[in-house]
């Protein structure tokens, strides 16, 4: 049963005196109550836009916020009408201006303003503009906005508002100048440090270890287990030494403000106390950075106000009970995406008159990442700030690259990793960063002039319903991703509705069922070749049995042709099959050899067959040493210490 009109109490915010007078007249006409102050008894707040203090308090207290035309509609109907059609939009009433954004970002801002009832302005107008969107500090608009108290925020603020379906506080998204040091609290600082460590490890995973931290003995007090695990990876990368407890041989304390380290700094004047930023920047620069540039004070949180103890108040008669507002439910913060805080450069090719949508751009944005796009037919110049921030150069499907373009980009951004669009989709599918060497189709050579695959999806794959058998781990992930990108449907189980079975060997239950149902049985080579040519290639009559090269060489070595002393043409017949099998596998029977030039000098097979020779090694000799010594100097292992563990550079272990 709907409440009576007398139970409604209306308040207003942001209305002119004339509008307030008219609203009060309609309220009294309908039999409602009016109050100029917002309190727990107010049921409806009239507003023309979002953002005022009353609006934020009303939203926090779950008070209905409506536009003034709700009262007009109630007056026309002679009764209380639902408020759903008269509620404010997410950004309604805001006037948003931009500065320093790319064309595509400005178009996105204008589109979001139209969708959520905000006003997009090309010029900054004092008294009208409510927010300025920028990527970095600087410029006339930025200086004017700061001088007049207009909030300057990043694009992430607008995206957060749309995602939360409500106005989000601007403090976490403000654009600060270089000389402004944000003093965050502990949890937000820890979250930011975790993101920086994650991005640093992602950039350095494929790089060889350095020795720039050799001689540095580090102690890392006060960090959580997750942060400590990532920082240990960086210490090993620089070949430094880390101790779990303080001892006189420590040369550097990578300090957390909450750690117990200050008295050690007072007693040892030669001890260097630095922030975690020093470790990150040293690893990125492959040299030990000056410690004075990374003081711990940059991470000092705001001290809580001192507690003031007041005497208990004199007992007074308790007031009549008031209606208490419902408890405000805390909304759990959404987990951050894989590409959060990472800027990627997309190399695409599209006609000048029409720019198609990009699936990889949408996927990266959904994972919290930012992108910049370059049309290879009309490349534009990137600004210096982007050249420093870009972490990945992504060659999209169907890209045609001018000669020397990739090499030029690598020279301009030596820290950026050159990857393919397939690598991005595989990483997003598994929610982890894979090394580029994990699969041959994850990277291109700097001399490549086009992408491996054309624009996807392909029309010929729309009718393909495929299942995968006998492929494992990375091979299975790559094949499933390729099928989905090509437009095919992938099913975990095989049925008579399937049209194709991708099987690495003629064996297994799926293979037998596919033969019984007369399905098309193919291998990974067929899929890759079909995608490269843009059409379904002929299906082989029988699945070829491919002998692994490592098995062939491990069992029986290849017999060479007889020398001049032997009778010519009398090669033993039992040796011929082995020689022919290996030759065909390496030479002419490899369907992937036609795009070896895409993979560069370090090309390897697609991971479908591992072409590695088995090498028999003698068992290692067991050395007995009662007192092992890892170093020639005085850095001997102490209790509760961890010496440097030089990891195998081929290991794909990751902490991300």
> Is the same domain home to 190 and 277?
yes
> Is the same domain home to 79 and 101?
no
Predicted local distance difference test score (pLDDT) of residue 601: 41
Last residue in a domain, options 381, 407, 425: 425
239 touches 206 (CB < 8 A): no
Give whole-number Cα distances, 610 to 76, 329, 420, 585, 613, in Å. 78, 54, 21, 12, 9
> Is the same domain home to 496 and 421?
no
521 touches 501 (CB < 8 A): yes
Last residue in a domain, options 505, 533, 561: 533
Cα 76 from chain centre: 52
pLDDT digits 0-9 by tens, 238-249: 889 988 777 778
Predicted local distance difference test score (pLDDT) of residue 443: 92
Mean pLDDT of the chain: 77
In degrees, rounded to 5, the angle at the alpha carbon of residue 503 between the alpha carbons of residues 500 and 504 is: 150
How many residues are there in the chain? 656
| 294 found inside a domain | yes
Cα 182 from chain centre: 24
> Is the same domain home to 80 and 120?
no
pLDDT digits 0-9 by tens, 527-567: 999 999 999 999 988 876 655 544 444 333 434 344 443 44
What's the CATH code of the domain at 386? 3.40.50
Mean pLDDT of 355-366: 90
Dihedral, CA of residue 636, residue 637, residue 638 and residue 644, to nearest 10:
120
> Is the same domain home to 50 and 10?
yes
385: domain range? 343-425
| 482 found inside a domain | yes
Query: What angle do the packed helices 186-204 and 276-285 form, to 10 degrees?
Result: 20
401 touches 395 (CB < 8 A): yes
What's the CATH code of the domain at 167? 3.40.50.10190
> Is the same domain home to 101 and 140?
yes
| 625 found inside a domain | no
| 571 found inside a domain | no
Based on the structure, what is the number of domains in the chain?
Answer: 5
> Is the same domain home to 202 and 278?
yes
Query: Phi-psi bin for 70: left (phi > 0), alpha (psi -120 to 50), beta?
Result: alpha
Whether residue 326 is predicted with pLDDT greater than 80 in this model: the reply is no
Cα 315 from chain centre: 58
Range of 33-42, 289-298, 554-563 with top mean pLDDT: 33-42
pLDDT digits 0-9 by tens, 50-84: 988 888 888 888 889 999 999 999 988 888 888 88
R_g of the chain computed on alpha carbons: 33
Predicted local distance difference test score (pLDDT) of residue 314: 46
Predicted local distance difference test score (pLDDT) of residue 198: 84
pTM of the model: 0.41
Predicted local distance difference test score (pLDDT) of residue 178: 56
> Is the same domain home to 162 and 199?
no
Is 499 exposed, middle or buried (CB count within 10 Å of its CB: 0-12, 13-18, 19+)? middle
| 559 found inside a domain | no
Predicted local distance difference test score (pLDDT) of residue 531: 95
> Is the same domain home to 134 and 161?
yes
Predicted local distance difference test score (pLDDT) of residue 468: 95
> Is the same domain home to 143 and 228?
no
> Is the same domain home to 82 and 102?
no
> Is the same domain home to 165 and 217?
no
> At residue 50, what are phi and psi to the nearest 5 degrees?
-95, 165
C-alpha 578/C-alpha 556 separation (Å) is 8
pLDDT digits 0-9 by tens, 328-348: 555 455 567 899 889 999 999
Whether residue 100 is predicted with pLDDT greater than 70 in this model: the reply is yes
């Amino acid at each position: 049963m709907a409440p009576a009109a007398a139970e409604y109490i209306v308040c207003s915010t942001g209305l002119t005196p004339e509008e307030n007078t008219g609203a009060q007249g309609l309220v009294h006409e309908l039999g409602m109550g009016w109050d100029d102050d917002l309190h727990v008894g107010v049921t409806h707040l009239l507003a023309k836009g979002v953002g005022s203090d009353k609006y934020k308090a009303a939203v926090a207290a779950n008070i209905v916020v409506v536009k003034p035309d709700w009262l007009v509609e109630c007056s026309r109907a002679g009764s209380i009408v639902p408020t759903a059609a008269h509620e404010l939009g997410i950004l309604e009433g805001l006037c948003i201006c931009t500065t320093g954004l790319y064309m595509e970002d400005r178009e996105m801002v204008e589109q979001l303003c139209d969708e959520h009832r905000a006003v997009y302005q090309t010029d900054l107008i004092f008294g009208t503009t409510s927010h300025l969107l920028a990527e970095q500090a600087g410029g006339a608009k930025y200086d004017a906005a700061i001088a007049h108290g207009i909030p300057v925020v990043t694009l992430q603020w607008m995206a957060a508002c749309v995602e939360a379906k409500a106005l989000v506080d601007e403090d976490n998204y403000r654009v600060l100048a270089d000389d402004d040091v944000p003093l965050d609290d502990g949890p937000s600082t820890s979250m930011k440090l975790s993101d920086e460590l994650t991005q640093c490890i992602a950039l350095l995973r494929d790089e060889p270890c350095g020795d720039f931290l050799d001689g540095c003995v580090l102690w890392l007090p006060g960090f959580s287990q997750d942060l400590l695990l990532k920082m240990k990876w960086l210490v090993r990368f620089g070949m430094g030494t880390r101790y779990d407890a303080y001892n006189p041989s420590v040369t550097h304390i990578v300090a957390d403000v909450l750690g117990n380290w200050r008295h050690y700094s007072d007693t040892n004047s030669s001890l260097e106390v630095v922030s975690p930023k020093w470790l990150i920047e040293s690893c990125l620069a492959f040299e030990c950075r000056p410690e004075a540039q990374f003081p711990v004070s940059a991470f000092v949180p705001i001290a809580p106000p001192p507690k003031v103890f007041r005497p208990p108040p004199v007992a007074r008669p308790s007031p009549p009970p008031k209606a208490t507002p419902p408890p405000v439910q805390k909304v759990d913060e959404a987990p951050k995406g894989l590409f959060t805080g990472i800027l990627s450069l997309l190399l695409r090719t599209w006609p000048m008159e029409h720019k198609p949508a990009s699936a990889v751009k949408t996927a990266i944005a959904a994972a919290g990442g930012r992108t910049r796009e370059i049309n290879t037919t009309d490349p534009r110049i990137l600004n210096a700030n982007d050249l420093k921030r870009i972490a990945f150069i992504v060659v999209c499907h169907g890209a045609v690259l001018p000669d020397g373009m990739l090499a030029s980009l690598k020279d301009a951004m030596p820290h950026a990793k050159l990857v393919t669009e397939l690598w991005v989709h595989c990483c997003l599918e598994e929610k982890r960063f894979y090394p580029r060497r994990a699969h041959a189709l994850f990277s291109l050579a700097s001399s490549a002039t086009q992408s491996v695959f054309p624009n996807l999806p392909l029309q010929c794959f729309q009718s393909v319903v495929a299942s995968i058998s006998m492929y494992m781990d990375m091979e299975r992930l790559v094949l499933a991703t390729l099928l989905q990108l090509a437009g095919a449907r992938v099913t975990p189980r095989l049925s008579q509705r399937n049209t194709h079975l991708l099987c690495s060997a003629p064996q297994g239950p799926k293979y037998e069922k596919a033969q019984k149902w007369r399905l098309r049985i193919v291998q990974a080579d067929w899929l890759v070749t079909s995608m490269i040519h843009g059409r379904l290639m002929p299906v082989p009559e029988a699945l070829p049995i491919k002998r692994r090269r490592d098995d062939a060489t491990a069992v029986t070595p290849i017999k060479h042709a007889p020398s001049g002393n032997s009778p010519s043409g009398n090669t033993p017949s039992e040796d011929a099959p082995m020689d022919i099998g290996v030759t065909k596998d390496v030479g002419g029977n490899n369907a992937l050899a036609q795009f070896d030039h895409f993979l560069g000098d370090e090309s390897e097979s697609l991971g479908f067959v591992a072409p590695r020779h088995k090498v028999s090694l003698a068992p290692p000799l067991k050395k007995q040493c009662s007192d092992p010594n890892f170093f020639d100097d005085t850095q001997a292992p102490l209790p509760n210490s961890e010496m440097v563990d030089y990891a195998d550079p081929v290991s794909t272990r990751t902490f991300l």
